[in-house]
Amino acid sequence: MMARNLTLCLACFHGAFAIVGATFGFVSSASAQSIQLGMPIACELGRTCYIQNYVDADPSPSAKDYKCGTLTYDAHNGTDFRVPSLQAQQAGVEVLAAANGRVLRTRDGAPDGLFRKSAREAVRDVECGNGVVVEHAEHWETQYCHMASGSLQVKSGDVVKVGQPLGRVGLSGLTEYPHLHFTVRHGNVVVDPFAYGAAPGSCGGGELLWDPSLRAQLAYQERTILNAGFTSRPVTMDLIEDGKADKELLSADAPAIVAFVRAIGLKAGDVQWLSVRDPAGHVIAENRAAPLERDKAQTMLFAGRKRPASGWEKGNYKATYSVERDGQVVLKRDLETTL
């Protein structure tokens, strides 16, 4: 099952956390117009975190990311760096200052997970949850949202250096999965750090504001595998989100062998396929899904088989996941586990 509001995290600050206009003249190596950003989160993109959403570059009620792709939703004003599971979040992922600056304001003490447990009303006016706003030279600002309750390590007025920990990724405010919502503003106007100054609808124009050393890591991925592995029981989106499904070691008496994949960014018309093979290479389970009817923020596929009466053969079990579009493989992953 897919969470209905999956893409939600935060639109803007409200109320007591309103924007204050003051700025300071920091000495910076950045040019007068642009800022150079470091990673705002201590993770490796594509391995320990993933971009779920970009800034909505489409001013209409529909939504497009800076490549005119689907990785955003209407009026989304930042970049969402998602960690793959609650277990990964609970292990601790630091939120980092993306550039030198000074802390303008903070909020802490908003509970983690309130939006998942109750409803949107519970996080009204605190959509950002626990957050930090840092001001930088030349009227630039960065904002960090949904941080873990009690994790903030800075206070208003603190001078911070690029890469300095501000706190940890959490689940506070308007979010139902752990991630950092990161907003960049210049002169109080929201800027997409992947496409600064791009003409609306340019599908890839504008300036990257990221440090050049990060640009390969930050290359646009239309589709991404968030989790993949084997488990011995029926898999659910909640089990994957908890992080327990990925970590299971299969044993010879496992009641079932199930391979699973959760992916983000799949498009209408994509066809997913997952097959599982025993140590002799025979296919023991297969799942070829119907073409997706619409774009999906996240989707899950699994294929598995119950333990045969004779038990499991020892050896390597392999699975292959692929996504095809117009006859071309556009995403693929091979998995392996040993009994």
User: Binding residues for Zn ion, per CB under 5 A?
Assistant: 9, 78, 80, 181
The SS3 call for residue 186 is strand
99: closest CA among 153, 157, 29, 189?
A: 29
Q: Are 289 and 231 within 8 A, CB to CB?
A: no
Shortest Å, Cβ 57 to Zn ion: 14
Is the Cβ of residue 80 or residue 135 nearer to Zn ion in the bound state? 80
Is the Cβ of residue 35 or residue 51 nearer to Zn ion in the bound state? 51
Please give the structure tokens belonging to residue 228: 């993949």
Shortest Å, Cβ 76 to Zn ion: 6
Shortest Å, Cβ 155 to Zn ion: 24
Is the Cβ of residue 80 or residue 246 nearer to Zn ion in the bound state? 80
Is the Cβ of residue 133 or residue 274 nearer to Zn ion in the bound state? 133
Shortest Å, Cβ 186 to Zn ion: 18
Shortest Å, Cβ 169 to Zn ion: 12
Shortest Å, Cβ 53 to Zn ion: 5
| Numbers of helices and strands, H then E, in the chain | 4, 17
Shortest Å, Cβ 9 to Zn ion: 3
Please give the structure tokens belonging to residue 123: 């996080």
At 182, phi and psi to the nearest 5? -120, 115
Is the Cβ of residue 194 or residue 317 nearer to Zn ion in the bound state? 194
The residue written with tokens 């970009």 in the block is: 54
Is the Cβ of residue 45 or residue 261 nearer to Zn ion in the bound state? 45
The partner residues of 159 in beta bridges, in order of sequence, read: 102
- Contacts of 315 by beta carbon, 8 Å cutoff, 6+ apart: 278, 279, 280, 338, 339
Please give the structure tokens belonging to residue 249: 């070691």
Shortest Å, Cβ 289 to Zn ion: 28
Shortest Å, Cβ 104 to Zn ion: 19
Is the Cβ of residue 9 or residue 297 nearer to Zn ion in the bound state? 9
DSSP 92-138: --EEE-SSSEEEEEEE--PPBTHHHHS-GGGGTT-TT-EEEEEEEGG
Instruction: Let me know if 333 is exposed, middle or buried by CB neighbors in 10 A (0-12, 13-18, 19+).
Output: middle
The residue written with tokens 């605190």 in the block is: 126
Is the Cβ of residue 9 or residue 228 nearer to Zn ion in the bound state? 9
The SS3 call for residue 26 is coil
58: closest CA among 47, 40, 44, 72?
A: 72
Please give the structure tokens belonging to residue 270: 């994509």
Is the Cβ of residue 72 or residue 100 nearer to Zn ion in the bound state? 72
Share in percent of the chain as helix, strand, coil (round to 5): 10, 35, 55
Q: Are 53 and 71 within 8 A, CB to CB?
A: yes
